[in-house]
Amino acid sequence: MPPVGRSVHVRVPATSANLGPGFDTLGLALSLYDELDVTVSSTPGVRVEVHGVGEDGSVATDGSNLVAAVILDVLARKGAQVPGLDLVANNSIPHGRGLGSSGAAIVAGIMAARGLLDGLVELPSSELLAIATDFEGHPDNVAPALFGGLTIAWLEPTGPQYKKLNVHRGVSPVVFVPAHTVPTKLARSLQPANVPHEDAVFNVSRSALLIAALIQSPELLLAATEDKLHQNYRAAAMPDTDALVHLLRRAGFPAVVSGAGPSVLVLCERPADRLRAAELVAAEPGAEWRALMLAVDFKGATVVTRDLG
C-alpha cells in the first residue's frame, strides 16, 4: 500500500492523432502540458482541485473525475489501496478540441499510480500502454502522450504495440484552436463502414510518405499529409475547420484536422513558416482561431515521487 503522505508530480503532453492519412495509427506529442499533483491522504475519499482548463466546473472534483478513477483502477489492478487521495490538476490542454485531452487525463492517472507504487510494484511500459488503451479504446493518442515524439501504434492479439520515432528538428507545429468543440463520438460516427479501394491505397501511400517526411524529409509534408479516409467525411460536422484546412493547403501549408477536430494542425517545414501561417489565418474575415506555436515533445509523460521525511 502506498504510504500516507506520498506524493507524485505528473506532466503529460498534448497530442495530435491521425496527422492526415495515419488514421487511428499515427500520433505526435506536442509541447502543451497538463500537470498533476497527487498525495495519499489519511482522510477517506477523493478530492480534486482544478486550475486552468476545467476550473469552470466542467471537470468533476470527486471520485468520478477521470484522472482519479484511473488512479484507483490501476491501484486496484495491483492489489493496492489508499485511504484517500488529494489531487491538484493544472490543465492547459483544451477539452474537446482534438488535442488528446482525454488521453492525457488517462495517462496522467496511470503515471500517478505508477509513481504512487514506486518501489512497491513494477508497471512496465507495455502494461502502461495496455491499460491506457483499455480506457481510451485505441492507442493513437495515449502512445505519444506516454512516450513522446512520433508514434506508430497498432494492435496485436497480445495487446497494443507502439514504435517511437524521432522527428526531424526542422518540423515546427502550429495548432489553430477554435472556441467551439466537436464531440469525438460525433466525428467518429460520420465514418463509413467501408471505403473505396483506391482511397485505401491512396492513404497507405501517404502514410508511408508521412513517416519519411517527418523523420527525414520535411519538404514532402504537403503531399504526405493528404488524406481520403476520414477528413472529408467529417467536414459537415466542422465546416469552419474544413475551410481552414483547405485555405492553408492552397497556400502551401501542410494542414490537417488535429485528431477528431475541430482544431487544425499545421506541420511546418521550418519555424518561420508558422508565423506566415498564423498571419494568413488572422487575415481571414471573422477569424476566431487561437494560434499555438508548439514544439514536438520528445519525453512524453513524466512522474516524480516524493515521500514525507
Would the annotation count 20 as a binding residue? no
- Answer yes or no: do 137 and 31 share one domain: yes
Would the annotation count 309 as a binding residue? no
Q: Which residues contact 298 (CB under 8 A, 6 or more apart)?
A: 29, 148, 149, 166, 167
- Answer yes or no: do 205 and 160 share one domain: no
- Answer yes or no: do 132 and 211 share one domain: no
Distances (CA, A) of 207 to 110, 142, 278: 30, 19, 26
- Answer yes or no: do 208 and 231 share one domain: yes
pLDDT in the model for residue 230: 74
pLDDT in the model for residue 186: 58
- Answer yes or no: do 33 and 152 share one domain: yes
Residue 224 domain-assigned?
Answer: yes
- Answer yes or no: do 64 and 179 share one domain: no
End-to-end CA distance of the chain: 18
Provide the CB-side half-sphere exposure for 18 (13 A, CA): 25
Would the annotation count 197 as a binding residue? no
Residue 180 domain-assigned?
Answer: yes
pTM of the model: 0.94
- Answer yes or no: do 21 and 107 share one domain: yes
pLDDT in the model for residue 199: 73
Would the annotation count 69 as a binding residue? no
- Answer yes or no: do 16 and 154 share one domain: yes
CATH of residue 113's domain is: 3.30.230.10
Residue 1 domain-assigned?
Answer: no
Residue 206 domain-assigned?
Answer: yes
pLDDT in the model for residue 19: 96
Residue 2 domain-assigned?
Answer: no
Would the annotation count 99 as a binding residue? yes
Would the annotation count 94 as a binding residue? yes
Low-confidence ranges of the chain (pLDDT < 50): none
- Answer yes or no: do 228 and 93 share one domain: no
Structural domain that includes position 12? 7-165+296-306
Would the annotation count 96 as a binding residue? yes
Q: What is the pLDDT of residues 245-258, one digit of tens each?
A: 999 999 999 999 99
Would the annotation count 95 as a binding residue? yes
Provide the CB-side half-sphere exposure for 144 (13 A, CA): 33
- Answer yes or no: do 41 and 59 share one domain: yes
- Answer yes or no: do 24 and 157 share one domain: yes
Would the annotation count 98 as a binding residue? yes
